Structure 1
Amino acid sequence: MKFKSVLAAAAAMTAVVAVASPASAVTVTSVQIKSTVEVLQVAELQLFANGLNVAQGKNATATSVYVNGPAVPSFAVDGDTRGDYPFIYHGDDYNAGDILTVDLGGAFDVTTISIFGRTDSCCGFRDNYIYTLFNGAAQVGTGTLDARATAFATANLAGAVPEPASWALMIGGFGMVGGALRRRKATVSFA
C-alpha cells in the first residue's frame, strides 16, 4: 500500500516538473531576420511557444520588397512552408541589407525558432539567416540558421538544463521516494 502512495507521489512530482516552463525559453515580442549573403528570402518563419506557432498571421514588415513580384513580407508568416517563388518574402537589396521584422503583438515564451527557405530551382544558396529576438526594445537573443542544404533550419532555444527550482523539486522527490522505499524494505518480515 505504501509503495502505491510512493508511486503516486513520484507521478505527481513528475507532473509538476513537466508543467514548469522551459529553463531557456526566451520572452519575445518581435524578431528580425537578415541574410548572411545578398538577398533575403524567407518562405516561413515559425516561433513556437507552448507548442503553438505564435508568428503565424502576425504583422510582418521589411526594408524592401522585390520589385518584379508580389513576394511581400506577410508571405513569411502565412503558414505556407513550400518555398516556391512568389509565395515567399523576397527582398530587393542585393547587399544583404534586407531586414524582415515580425511583431508578435504581445510577449511569448519562445522555445524554438524555425525558418523555411526557398525550395524552387533558384537561389537556395541564399537560405542562410541571422535572427535577432527582442523583448520590447531589448535584444534577448541572436543566432544563425543555415538552411542552404535543406531549405529548413531550426534552433532550440530551450536548453535541457532544468531551472534550480526544478532541480530542487526533483532531488527532494527522489529523496522522498528513496526514503519511502527504504522504510518499506525495513518493515518487510520473512515468516
Structure 2
Amino acid sequence: MIRETPRLRAAALAAAALAAMALGAGAAQATQVFSDNFNSENGGVAANPYTGFANWTVLSGAVTLNEGAPCDGGSGGCVGLDGRGGGGSEFEMSNSISYGVGSLVTLTYDIAGNHHDCSVCATDDEYEAGFLFSNIGETINDVTLDGQDVGPIVISTGIDLFGTGFPLPFNDPWTTHTVSFTATDAGTIKAHFRSFSTDGVGPLLDNVSVDVTGGVPEPASWALMIAGFGLAGAALRRRRSAVAA
C-alpha cells in the first residue's frame, strides 16, 4: 500500500488550489468592464462647451456637460453631442480596451433627443455609435445592433461607426442601445460617438459601458495555470515514490 503523508497531501492540495486559482484568474482577465455615467464630471456643474472629461476626448466640434433634469433619470450628469457653435462633434474614449481571439465585445449606451424647445432645432438630430479599432483589415463576426444581426464586417478604416446616421427626434425619450461583435483576432477598441447636429443642440448621451467577455486568457494566466498543474504533477510523482507501508 502507498502511504500518503500529511506533507504530500498538503502539497497536492496546494498545487491543485494554485491551478484552480490560475483558471479563475484567466477567466477574470478575460472580462473587462468600462462604465461611465458622467456624474462626477466638473464637480457636478454643467458647462458648455466642456473638454475636461476623465475618460473621454472631444476629437472635433464641441460637447456640453449637462446636469440634472435633462439627464437619464432626471439627475446626475450626461453629455450633449453638439455644444456651443454647432457643426457636429466626435466623442471618444481616451483609453483603449483590450480583447482576445473569440471575445464578445459589447457597447451599451443610453441616448435621447436634445429635449430643447424645437424652435431652435434645424432638423432631427443624427448620430452614429461604434468603435475605433486597432486592427485594420480584421473581420469581426456576429455584429449586432440592438440584438439584430448585421453579419460579419471587415474593419476598413480604424473607425467603424455602425449605421450611416440614426435620426433622433428632439423629444425622443431615453433609450438603451447596444452594439456587439465577436473578435477573430486580439486587438483593442475605443467607444466612439459622432453627432451630425449643426444647430448647437444635439443628442444626449449617458450610461456608457463596454464589456469584453471570453476569449483566450492572457499569457500570464497561462503561465500560472501551467505552474499549478506542474506542481500538482510533481506532488503526485512524489506520492507514487513514497515508501510502501
TM-score by length of 2: 0.36
Q: Which has the larger radius of gyration?
A: 2
More strand by share: 2
